[in-house]
Amino acid sequence: MTNPVEITGIHHVGLPVADFERALHFYTQVLRLEHIRAPKGFAERVRWLRLGEQHIHLIHHADPLAPNGPRHVALHITDVEAARAHLKTLGVELDEQPFITNALRFTIKDPDGNAVELIQWLAPWGDGSNQ
């Protein structure tokens, strides 16, 4: 039997930040991560940092410590439709996310309320087709 929620790795972690300049300085100058261009539609509210094939997404939020803020982990999966159908049969509530070019995704909550984004890239990130 195949696993309907086949996770292939961590794509990114989303971290809320109050000040983009301060956060970007820390992640690019102190930790030496690469600041990359986000897909269209994200430029104003999210900054993307790359570390190999994984990312940290800095998300502007007035209160970074707010319990219902944008903090989350995103797991790359092979088949978002199979995962969606399987999780619905288990009664897991799905929160559909805004469209990203060449990606299918939705978010669920773990038992403690932590957000987990499940994302399937239809084209490899960074090949120019999703920027």
Q: How would residue 44 be classed by pLDDT, with cut points 50, 70 and 90?
A: confident
Rounded CA separation 94/88 (Å): 8
Question: Does residue 87 register a pLDDT over 80?
Answer: yes
User: How is the chain split into domains, by residue range?
Assistant: 7-121
Both ends of the chain: CA-CA distance in Å? 36
Tell me what pLDDT residue 43 has: 65
Question: Among 64, 30, 28, 22, which Cα is nearest to 49's?
Answer: 28
Tell me what pLDDT residue 68 has: 83
DSSP code at position 97: -
Question: Does residue 130 register a pLDDT over 60?
Answer: no
Question: Among 115, 70, 80, which Cα is nearest to 100's?
Answer: 80
pLDDT digits (tens, 9 = 90+) for 95-115: 998 888 889 999 999 987 889
Question: What is the architecture of the domain spanning 7-121?
Answer: Roll (3.10)
Q: How would residue 16 be classed by pLDDT, with cut points 50, 70 and 90?
A: very high
Residue 89, classed as helix, strand or coil, is: helix
